[in-house]
Amino acid sequence: MPEIAQPFRFGSNAGQPVTRRDGIAKVTGAAAFAADTAPAGLLHALCAPAAIARGRVTHLDIARAESHPGVVRVLTPANRPFLEGDPAEKPTMFSFRIEVLQDDSVRYAGQPIAMVLAETPEAAAEGVRLLNPQYAAETPRVTLDEEAAYPVEPGGFGRPAATLHGDIEAAHGAATRALDVTYTTAPQYHNAMETHAVVAEWTGDRLHLALPSQALAMSCAAYAWFFGIPVENVTLSSPYLGGGFGSKAIPTGPQVLAILAARVLGRPVKLMLPRAQMFGPTGHRGATRQRLRLGIDDDFALTALDHDSLSETSSFDDFHEPAANASQGLYAAQALRSTHRGVRLDVGTPGPMRAPGEASGSAALECAMDEMAEQAGLDPLAFRLLNYAETEPGTGRPYSSKALRDCYRLGAERFGWAHRPLTPRQMRDAEGMLVGWGMGTALFPAPMFQAQARATLNPDGTALVETAAADMGQGAWTALAQIAADALGLPLEKVTFHSGHSSLPDGGVAGGSGHTATAGGALHAAGTDVIRQLAEIATADPASPLHGAGNARVAARDGQLFLVDDETRAEAFEAILARHGGQSLTGGGSAARPPEDAQRHAMSSHGAVFAEVKVDPELCQVRVTRLVGAFAAGRIINPRLADSQLYGGMIWGIGMALHEEAHHDPRTGRVLNADLAGYHVPVNADVTGLEVLTVHEEDPHVNILGIKGVGEIGVTGTVGAIGNAIWHATGKRIRRFPIRIEDLLAE
């Protein structure tokens, strides 16, 4: 059997900054998001949200709502139809307990307490208003101080295990210089621009869903479980997601209720959550309070790094922001500990939000490192270099690759870091603004999940590649097609890529920055399988120039098969297939990381972020005026799209550092700023002087494609860099994110 040259390094497609394949659809309005679909006979659903965070609903004016013209049905706990799946159970590893009107209790503000189905959105809205709910309210618990903390019980997703290497107490006690600081981060909400939506339609016991999903196959399994039907009876269409950021991998109560309504009413139902209802049932990044204890010896080497994170979860389920994990793999501390503690509050269950754990944890860690450097009288970058981890701290495992030094160097050069005065309040601009420079290290793990793919080579030399991947803006449609085209040895325009529909092979989860590596790995395997079959045909075919090539290495490029050692022996795909009955060839592939690979190496993306802020000395208004990020994330499939991901992540860092915070009313427990006017996210005017640099890494260990992922790392490093720059400008250490004007005004 001919051996296929492996890995295909990488012809014409991967590495090219091609524009998005779905670009025209997105700029013309033709891209149909879930709520843009409208089957005939559609009903509009709207949830009534709880206005209290804890207690019971005692009354709903159902008759009044149902008498409003256009209102068809009101679902409440009293008449809620049977649901096969128990909402107190979890169908998949990426799901939470949900609220689907199982009783009259209220567990958080914004929880659905009824659902109105109506002929028009206007009638649904009026119906919800007329319900006029009455409550028996109890005092809500909405801050980290309101309940006793407990150690987080390890258990996978959202339940990080504690780690310990060395004698942390002895090391901290014996340190030449020691630091003990506490940082807090605020509750944040994903707020993808497209709110959670579903258009649900039943034919008999078959369910058709238009629903934005970051995990198509897993979502189908979950919905099949909820409705007691075989998974093959569920089809889910999710060609476009209007952002996800972690919030659209997980089934939510309102979506399940809308599907249930469609079944009981025998009509298609559309639900599109109002923005305010994105602050409750759809997950969020829980608040944290993190204590960091650092110790260094006479040579400024970290002897102790102890990171404890207290975070909120809901009263009925567990997702703890795994913030202390951020300290696990970054600096060469001799003794290293991470612990997580939890508090149960009357809030919706938190969930993974872009760089879960690393975002909050890195914010605190990078500021603590800056404080330690300050105490030691060292430049913050020099201090980090002194504590550079050559192997994974604690375990000593080698890194699969780690070009962090290059990131530090490149970023610092581009930024002009060498000119930074050591002490704060040294720089002013022409307008008298205080200028400060800060930096932070960026880190995000490079996980892989599981995915499958199919590739079909057509007799005309074109190909179809298929996997149910999710493009929520990362550019999966484009980057994955590039990978597939390379595996098939075809120019990109000859490859049709089908994705975003559950009838296709399982593309896995778009999360953890692992989607390109995983779904891409599966496509690569599928394409390679096709080429292997084609090579078998050609080398066995006396009419082919490749005939009898035996074990000589065969490769595919530009629609031709050729011998690696003698490129004159080549033949076009079409010609090979034409002599073979003109049939198409189909291959399959899958990808997952073998456990022994995961054991052998530590695998992470790294980066360095440098920030300049200007602070008005009187008003204390803060502007980020420059942000330079240098990142090493393995092989970059599409630099244009990767840069956009990194920019986006860094801008999320600006939001976390300066803007984003949900405020709870202590009386009702409601989020007071549950809209886009009060919950501030960065706008265009907040973003200036941004620069992204990437450092190429050849990583033979991380996966066959050498990809680490770029979706989340940009948030990490950035938050701390901005906090440190604010200190450098003002001399004030604000240990609370977001940093507000009033914090800087206070003495």
Q: Choose from other proteins, ligand FES, none: what does 7 bind? Cβ within 5-8 Å by kind.
A: none
230 vs 183: CA distance, rounded Å: 48
Cα–Cα nearest to 194, from 470, 572, 576: 470
Q: At which residue do the structure tokens 């010609």 appear?
A: 575
Q: Choose from other proteins, ligand FES, none: what does 660 bind? Cβ within 5-8 Å by kind.
A: none
Per-residue binding string, ligand FES, 662-691, x by CB under 6 A, is ------------------------------
Q: Which is nearer to ligand FES, 418 or 677 (CB)?
A: 677
Q: Which is nearer to other proteins, 13 or 188 (CB)?
A: 188
- CB of 242: closest distance to ligand FES in angstroms? 6
Q: Choose from ligand FES, other proteins, none: what does 33 bind? Cβ within 5-8 Å by kind.
A: other proteins
Look up residue 238 and give its amino acid: S
- CB of 34: closest distance to other proteins in angstroms? 10
Output DSSP code: residue 544: S
Q: Point out which residues bind other proteins (CB under 8 A).
A: 19-20, 22-33, 35-36, 38, 120-123, 125-126, 191-195, 240-245, 272, 274-275, 471-475, 640-641, 643-645, 647-648, 651-652, 675-677, 681-685, 687-688, 690
Q: Which of 27, 30, 193, 746 binds ligand FES (CB under 6 A)?
A: 193
CB burial of residue 444 (10 Å; 0-12, 13-18, 19+): buried
Q: Which is nearer to other proteins, 93 or 685 (CB)?
A: 685
Is residue 671 helix, strand or coil?
A: strand
CB burial of residue 405 (10 Å; 0-12, 13-18, 19+): middle
Specify the length of the chain in residues.
747
Q: Which is nearer to other proteins, 304 or 435 (CB)?
A: 435
Question: Which residues fall within 8 angstroms of residue 731, CB to CB, at 6 or more apart?
Answer: 424, 425
Rg (alpha carbons) of the chain, rounded to whole number = 27
Q: Choose from other proteins, ligand FES, none: what does 610 bind? Cβ within 5-8 Å by kind.
A: none
Q: Which is nearer to ligand FES, 473 or 634 (CB)?
A: 473
Q: Which is nearer to ligand FES, 160 or 473 (CB)?
A: 473
202 vs 418: CA distance, rounded Å: 64
Is residue 295 helix, strand or coil?
A: strand
Is the CB of residue 717 less than 8 Å from the CB of residue 607? Answer: yes
Q: Choose from other proteins, ligand FES, none: what does 685 bind? Cβ within 5-8 Å by kind.
A: other proteins
- CB of 225: closest distance to ligand FES in angstroms? 31
Q: How far is CA 266 from CA 63, 69, 283, 495, 552, in A?
A: 22, 20, 30, 40, 62
Q: How far is CA 442 from CA 109, 162, 512, in A?
A: 35, 22, 15
Helices (H) and strands (E) in the chain, counts: 16, 29
Question: Which residues fall within 8 angstroms of residue 711, CB to CB, at 6 or more apart?
Answer: 354, 474, 513, 515, 645, 649
Q: Which is nearer to ligand FES, 516 or 645 (CB)?
A: 645
- CB of 198: closest distance to ligand FES in angstroms? 19
- CB of 277: closest distance to ligand FES in angstroms? 14
Is the CB of residue 523 less than 8 Å from the CB of residue 477? Answer: no
- CB of 193: closest distance to ligand FES in angstroms? 4
- CB of 456: closest distance to ligand FES in angstroms? 32
Q: Which is nearer to ligand FES, 473 or 682 (CB)?
A: 473
Q: Which is nearer to other proteins, 68 or 557 (CB)?
A: 68
- CB of 243: closest distance to ligand FES in angstroms? 5
Q: Which of 286, 473, 489, 714 binds ligand FES (CB under 6 A)?
A: 473
Q: Choose from ligand FES, other proteins, none: what does 503 bind? Cβ within 5-8 Å by kind.
A: none
Q: Choose from other proteins, ligand FES, none: what does 558 bind? Cβ within 5-8 Å by kind.
A: none
Q: Which is nearer to other proteins, 245 or 417 (CB)?
A: 245
Q: Choose from other proteins, ligand FES, none: what does 272 bind? Cβ within 5-8 Å by kind.
A: other proteins
Sheet holding 427-428, edge to edge: 427-428, 434-445, 604-615, 622-632, 690-695
Q: Choose from other proteins, ligand FES, none: what does 121 bind? Cβ within 5-8 Å by kind.
A: other proteins
Question: Which residues fall within 8 angstroms of residue 282, CB to CB, at 6 or more apart?
Answer: 190, 196, 247, 252, 273, 348
Cα–Cα nearest to 416, from 432, 434, 435: 435
Size of the site for ligand FES (CB under 6 A): 3
- Spell out the alpha helix ranges (H) of 551-594: 573-578
Look up residue 125 and give its amino acid: A
Q: Choose from other proteins, ligand FES, none: what does 3 bind? Cβ within 5-8 Å by kind.
A: none
- CB of 665: closest distance to other proteins in angstroms? 19
Q: Which is nearer to ligand FES, 212 or 440 (CB)?
A: 212
Which residue number has the CB closest to ligand FES? 193
- CB of 626: closest distance to ligand FES in angstroms? 23
Contacts 24+ apart (CB under 8 A), 429-435: 429/614, 432/617, 433/614, 433/615, 433/616, 433/617, 434/614, 434/615, 434/616, 434/617, 434/729, 434/730, 435/612, 435/613, 435/614, 435/615, 435/625, 435/729
- Contact status: 24 vs ligand FES (CB under 6 A): no
What does the block give as tokens for 558?
A: 């530009």
What does the block give as tokens for 424?
A: 């704060």
Q: Which is nearer to ligand FES, 683 or 746 (CB)?
A: 683
371 tagged catalytic = no
Q: Choose from other proteins, ligand FES, none: what does 195 bind? Cβ within 5-8 Å by kind.
A: other proteins
Q: Which of 15, 166, 243, 274 binds ligand FES (CB under 6 A)?
A: 243
Element (H, E) at 480: helix 476-488
- CB of 545: closest distance to other proteins in angstroms? 41
CB burial of residue 245 (10 Å; 0-12, 13-18, 19+): buried
Q: Choose from other proteins, ligand FES, none: what does 19 bind? Cβ within 5-8 Å by kind.
A: other proteins
Element (H, E) at 121: helix 121-130
User: Which one from 571, 712, 742, 747 is the annotated catalytic residue?
Assistant: 712
Q: Choose from ligand FES, other proteins, none: what does 225 bind? Cβ within 5-8 Å by kind.
A: none
Q: At which residue do the structure tokens 């800087």 appear?
A: 744
- CB of 710: closest distance to other proteins in angstroms? 12
Q: Which is nearer to other proteins, 330 or 609 (CB)?
A: 609
Is residue 207 helix, strand or coil?
A: strand
Question: Which residues fall within 8 angstroms of residue 605, CB to CB, at 6 or more apart?
Answer: 442, 443, 444, 445, 446, 513, 631, 632, 633, 634, 708, 709, 710, 713
Catalytic residue ranges: 712
Q: Which residues make up the interface to ligand FES (CB under 6 A)? A: 193, 243, 473
